Amino acid sequence: MNLIVFEQCNCRKQTRPLTSYAVLMGCLIKKPRDALILKQGGIIENQQTDEGVAMFFDQVRSCAHLDYDGYHLAPVLGDVKKCWASKRQKCRAKWQKYREKLCHDYFSSPWAIISFFAAILLLFLTATQSVYGVLGYYKQAN
């Protein structure tokens, strides 16, 4: 972290290799699971926990000032962002497809929606009645 701060203060904008590496790693490591995958692959080596690594790179990424268009890892970061965007878009498309199918097949009329909420209410009331029945049995036993 100190080297990155030193680099931010003393280096020219185009040559910030530590900052650009830390920002790239911050974009790759979003969760502790990501740090574990990189550790198992031999990409990073550390003595911290995976949560600590994820927090460190998140802090570095949020605090570092970097010109994203002019640094030497810009193409790699662009590929990472494209990969994340395509995965996010596929996931959203899949859920949107399922939601549309659900709405089309099961909730096409207002009566279907009303009956769905009525069924949820009846399940809740049944569960409540069961809990009170069990509690009443144990209170009688005592």
Q: pLDDT, tens digit, for every residue of 58-87?
A: 887 776 666 666 666 777 777 877 877 787
| pLDDT per position as a tens digit, 16-31 | 677 777 777 887 788 8
- Taking 90 as the threshold, does the pLDDT of residue 114 lie above it? yes
Check residue 1 and give its pLDDT: 60
Give the span between the Cα atoms of 36 and 48, in whole angstroms. Answer: 11
Q: Measured between alpha carbons, how far is residue 76 from residues 8, 9, 26, 119, 127 in Å?
A: 21, 24, 13, 52, 54
Check residue 46 and give its pLDDT: 81
Best CA proximity match to 25, nearest among 12, 66, 13, 2: 66
The answer to pTM > 0.85 is: no
